[in-house]
Amino acid sequence: DDLTGPNLHSQVRVGLLGSGVGLSLVLGFSAAYACYYWTSVAKKPQLIAGGKKFCEFLKDHCPVVSETYYPTFWCWEGRVQTLLRPFVTSKPCVCYRNELIKAPDGGQISLDWFDNDTSTSHPDPSARPTVLLLPGLTGTSRESYILHMVQQSRELGYRCVVFNNRGVSGEKLLTPRTYCAANTEDLETVIEHVHNTHPVAPIMAAGVSMGGMMLANYLGRKGYETCLKGVVVFSAGWDVFECTASLEKPLDRFLFNSYLTSCLQASVHRHRPVLEKNYDIDHVMKAKTIRQFDERFTSIMFGYPTNDDYYRDASPIHKLKSVQVPMLCLNAADDVFSPNHAIPVEAVKQNPNLALLITCHGGHIGFLEGVWPRQSTYMDRVFRQFARAVIEQGSRLTDLQ
Bridge partners for 98 per DSSP? 112
Task: Determine which one of 141, 144, 153, 209 is catalytic.
Answer: 209
Bridge partners for 99 per DSSP? 111
267 has catalytic annotation: no
Helix (H) / strand (E) containing 68: none
Torsion, Cα 141 300 323 321, to 10 degrees, reads 140
What is d(CA 352, CA 383) in angstroms, rounded to the nearest whole number? 20
Residue 63 phi, psi dihedral angles, 5° rounding: -55, -20
Name every residue whose Cβ is closer than 8 Å to that of residue 282 and which is 6 or more positions away in sequence: none
Task: Determine which one of 335, 361, 376, 380 is catalytic.
Answer: 335
Task: Determine which one of 186, 235, 364, 380 is catalytic.
Answer: 364
209 has catalytic annotation: yes
The DSSP code for 121 is S
Torsion, Cα 163 168 172 173, to 10 degrees, reads 90
1 has catalytic annotation: no
The angle at the Cα of 251, spanning 44 to 370, to the nearest 5 degrees, equals 30
195 SS3 class? helix
What is d(CA 131, CA 46) in angstroms, rounded to the nearest whole number? 26
CA distance readout (Å), 280 to 146, 226, 266, 301, 398:
33, 37, 15, 11, 49
The answer to whether the beta carbons of residues 208 and 145 sit under 8 Å apart is yes
What is d(CA 233, CA 139) in angstroms, rounded to the nearest whole number? 15
332 SS3 class? strand
Q: Known catalytic residues? A: 209, 335, 364
